[in-house]
Amino acid sequence: MWRDHSDLSGVVDELTRAVSLTRESGTSRRAFLKAGAATSAGLVVACFMPLGMRRVFAEDVAKKPAQTLPNAFVRIAPDNSVTVLLKHSEMGQGVWTSIPMVVADELDCDWSKVKVEHAPAAPEYKHTVFGIQMTGGSTSTWESFAQLREAGATARALLIAAAAKKWNLAGTSDCRTENGFVLCGDKKASYGELAEAAAKLPLPTNVALKKPEEFRLIGKPTKRLDSKAKVTGTAEFGIDVKRPGMLVATVARAPVFGAKLKSFDATKAKAVAGVVDVVQVPSGVAVLGKHFWAAKQGRDALIVDWDLGEGAKISSEGLRAEYRKLAQIKGAVAKTAGDVDAALKAGKLIEAEYEVPFLAHAPMEPENCTVEIGKDGADIWTGTQFQTLDQGLSAQILGLKPEQVRVHTTFLGGGFGRRANPTCDYVTEAVQVAKASGKTVKVVWTREDDIHGGYYRPMWLSRLRATLGKDGKPAAWAHTLVGQSIIAGTPFAAAMIKDGVDATSVEGAADSPYLEAVPAHRVDLHSPTSPISVLWWRSVGHSNTAFVVEGFVDELAHAAKQDPLKYRQALLPEKSRERLALDLAAEKFGWGKPLPKGHAAGIAVHASFGSYVAQIAEVSVENKQIKVHRVVCAIDCGPVVNPLTIEAQMQSGIAFGLGAALHSELSFKAGRVEQSNFHNYTVLRSNEMPRVEVHIVPSTDKMGGVGEPGTPPIAPAVANAVFAATGQRLRQLPLRLA
């Protein structure tokens, strides 16, 4: 259940319409319609992009769309520096480098002079698919690819035209560009020299884009532009922000989901040295101090009385019992073919139940937000994935126009979906504290606040049944999923839930490629409600369904007495992208070759966010402890911008997924979360990180994402390896041996 969002519908109306349209139409076009504005800094280039769901195709870039609003991305200054305005948030996924690479390649500029800034919150920077400025869904690079190529190419064309005019040339055909210069015979001018003149020229109506074989940067391993700032500590994250006269606040929030504040006594809190004020806000009681420790101690001294409500009855065991009952009956049908019930009675039944727990996002930088309200508007500094909604909801709270709320995006110390919250809870809360106190304030969440604060990956239970044909392949397949919808109760529900099915709940299950080879199959869904707030978590529904589907396929392979790799190969078309990734991973791992004594291997392949990932895990088990020694990963993500980004994101996704596979879980008792910090909500430790090898499938297919697809396959790969090593089939996360 989502917290109160009664004021949200107006802000997200554009997003809802966009989602509705994209569900009805798979058509997408893109073009560069307009650019250019002279500034004192030199040349600024802008471009237009439409809404639409299709991902960027390498071969599509010349197609022309309908007109939309302008996006300004490129600034060229007299000192030859090129600044790329990044509409997406950099939260470790590497877009601070990969997206500027796209601009720089088409611009033919000097890579050493490229700078990057987060763009301000403005309609011009909206996502070309989702219609708001945001980062998520592993979309950033493919969504920006054609748009930013054209921005770079148009800037280059304007600079060439300016040079030709300067040199009194009849045309531009003899001019060329190289590393930040326009050249023609013995003539040479830097981009910085030409920028101001270029900004005054009419916009070219058609610009030529490079052919892939002409790329200098795209597709080449390129080191990250943000590394130095992060290593030296000069990079500014939200928690680093300081403003004149700023106070720091912590908030006492409800201990149980759905609880209401009855009363509070701030006498002892105000007596704490450094505490300046205590104010009530919709989310609880805020204590403002001269520094964090004063605010934290003041909050600890508060006396707060809550009406706990029905949420106090929630327990993990109770939810599990409810889910198991629901799994025994049919739910809303997500996909079906053939007479499943008859087919399940026609052969030996193989049945299994899989379960995954609630999970917190647990970014290393907890939620925080700084708000400064002035006479002409308000300024917000935060690491966010949802700039448009932050801006719109904050404006509603303050009675301002959206453009009067200036959102300054900082680096994010991790997001994983938590900072893409449709209710913008940690941002709007800070705005409420600033409004109630009349002070510039930074609200900081503790780790315990983060773990207890909700918006979790839902708990899920799956019941699967199958029968096998004479060839060992599944002849019937029934999969019932039970878990909370992350969309129900939000303004997006009408557009995204059809016939009782939230697509994010069944992704990776209803669209599994294995089903195409099963004559009779059904995937259905139950979506029970709860006061517990849930949200997308890195890889969304795939974080659950990959574990379930790949684990069950492994069970069927062993029931058929077939090799797990060969079994999957027989179910997947030979030229499918899943199969190509699977084959490459098996080749690089050396599947079937002897492993060290006590070691075993498990395999999984899963498609998500337009990319196809296969992983093979090598594990050992000693004293019931699972150790992952090596992971070989193969990915087909289509055309590649920066191979180093792909490698890093596969490593990151594997580490993130291993934490959930081996350790992480949230449990409830009497409505309260039993975990509180990293001592009992455990993530992967450095000494547990396996050796990871990443291999990229050469591909000219649709470009997919890489931020999330590395996470889903690792849990089933490890679980399948544990079975190979011990004979124990583990169907519940985190993995624990009996």
76-95 residue pLDDT tens: 999 999 999 999 999 999 99
- pLDDT reading at 64 higher than 80: no
Residue 205 pLDDT = 82
**How many CB atoms are located within 10 Å of the residue 406 CB?**
17
Q: Collect all residues with Cβ–Cβ distance below 8 Å to 689 and sequence separation of at least 6.
A: 655, 658
Residue of 19, 101, 95, 29 lying closest to 706 (CA atoms): 95
Give the three-class secondary structure for 270. helix
Would you say residue 356 has pLDDT above 60? yes
Cα–Cα–Cα angle for 216, 219, 220, rounded to 5 degrees: 65
Type of residue found at 655: A
The CATH number given to 238-309+378-444 is 3.30.365.10
Q: How far apart are CA 363 and CA 396, in angstroms?
A: 28
User: Higher pLDDT residue, 205 or 41?
Assistant: 205
Average pLDDT rounded to a whole number, residues 550-555: 98
Q: Do domains 238-309+378-444 and 316-358+456-726 have the same CATH topology?
A: yes
DSSP sequence for 24-92: H------------EEETTEEEEEEE----SSPPPGGGTT-------EEEEEEE-TTS-EEEEE-S--SS
- Least Cα distance to 83 among 155, 175, 164 occurs for 155
Q: What is the mean pLDDT of the chain?
A: 91
Q: What is the pLDDT, as a whole number, of residue 490?
A: 81
Longest dimension (CA), the chain: 84
CATH of 13-232, one of 3.40.980.10, 3.30.365.10, 3.30.70.360, 3.40.309.10: 3.30.365.10
- Statement: residue 65 has pLDDT above 80: no
Give the pLDDT band (50/70/90) at residue 69: very low
pLDDT at 47: 52
Q: Is the pLDDT of residue 40 over 50?
A: no
* pLDDT for residue 7 is more than 60: no
Q: Are 696 and 714 in contact (CB under 8 A)?
A: no
For the cut 90, the answer to whether the pLDDT of residue 49 exceeds it is: no
Q: Hey, what CATH topology would domain 316-358+456-726 get?
A: Aldehyde Oxidoreductase; domain 4 (3.30.365)
Query: Which one-letter amino acid corresponds to residue 272?
Result: V
C-alpha to C-alpha distances, 671 to 33, 97, 483, nearest whole angstrom = 55, 44, 17
- Three-state secondary structure along 381-409? EECCCCHHHHHHHHHHHHCCCHHHEEEEE
- Residues 665 and 278: their CA atoms lie apart, in Å, by 34
pLDDT in tens, 606-641: 999 999 999 999 999 999 999 999 999 999 999 999
Quick one: pLDDT band at residue 695, thresholds 50, 70, 90?
very high
For residue 41, what pLDDT band results from cuts at 50, 70 and 90? low
Instruction: Give pLDDT, residue 24.
Output: 36
Band of pLDDT at residue 167, cut at 50, 70 and 90: very high
Lowest mean per-residue pLDDT among 49-63, 285-299, 359-373, 405-419: 49-63
Q: State residue 495's pLDDT score.
A: 85
Q: What pLDDT is stored for residue 44 in this prediction?
A: 77
Specify the pLDDT at position 18. 41
- Residue 240 confidence (pLDDT): 98
Tell me the two tokens of residue 64: 């022309």
Q: What is the value of pTM for the model shown?
A: 0.92
For residues 248 and 288, is the Cβ–Cβ distance under 8 A? Answer: yes
Q: Is a pLDDT exceeding 50 seen at residue 224?
A: yes
pLDDT of residue 491: 75
Averaged pLDDT for residues 575-588: 98
Q: Residue 42 — very low, low, confident or very high, per pLDDT cuts 50/70/90?
A: confident
Domain ranges within the chain, ordered by starting residue: 13-232, 238-309+378-444, 316-358+456-726
C-beta separation of 591 from 580 below 8 A: no
Judged against a pLDDT cut of 80, whether residue 66 lies above it is answered with: no
Please say if the pLDDT value at position 3 is more than 60: no
Report pLDDT digits (tens) over 642-688.
999 999 999 999 999 999 999 999 999 999 999 999 999 999 999 99
More confident residue, 10 or 258: 258
Per-residue pLDDT at 33 exceeds 90: no
Read off the pLDDT of residues 111-128 as tens digits, 9 standing for 90 and up.
999 999 999 999 889 999
Query: Would you say residue 152 has pLDDT above 90?
Result: yes
- pLDDT of 446-492, one tens digit each? 999 999 999 999 999 999 999 999 999 999 999 999 999 999 988 77
pLDDT of 503 > 80? The answer is yes
Is residue 519 pLDDT above 90, yes or no?
A: yes
